[in-house]
Structure 1
């Protein structure tokens, strides 16, 4: 079972959804996670992301569980694919100006100007003395949160959704 070790880190999953993730829907969800393939950098995804991309389909399946919204679903996937999948919440939405989109706006920003933002995030990680295990996307998450919070954007109410 590939979910059990990290499923609860920094996200509270309702018992009914946890039972589905670890039990009744485990085979389906594990197959979707495995179909994503190994972790890799989002900046390296050459094509726009949408239905049919395994991580998109996994997010859709997780969001179909009882009381699992976009934030919880994306945190679960981001924890399993640290370099590939961005977290979405109201702060990211407010900072990016992308209410219902997160994958392609982040991917496009990372790819623009020959990956300039991606390289800048890696340089920031290095300058901060963070280990290489911290992905450019997680650095991005922190910076977006800091920027959004400083500007009074987003809503704390969706953190659990």
Structure 2
């Protein structure tokens, strides 16, 4: 299955020149724990980083810094892993596991932000797959009973 089929759309984003406080308020407003940081050349939202609620707590609040005076670009994770909409789910899981990353922006063919996939999205997908697998035995038994009557 393609990662674009299970990613969350739309994803919430901001620019690097937003204040950390504005980013936190945006997270609160949309009930999310992360924002994709974008640049917007030629009307395409290009992911350049990600900021999480944990980044804000560890890098700003815990150090007693003022979130109204810091910019998102100052604390965002810029070593960004992205996935193309057509990437395979299991390959994306491998890449996330290798890098220890819980959230991955999904991009379209032009490199623009198409959505985001999280560990929670992937767990839900895998749980559904496991549920389908668990039904194989019961379907096989039903088929076998009908065939032997």
**TM-score, normalized by length of structure 2?**
0.27
More strand by share: 2
Higher relative contact order (CA 8 A, sep 6+): 2
Q: Bigger radius of gyration, 1 or 2?
A: 2
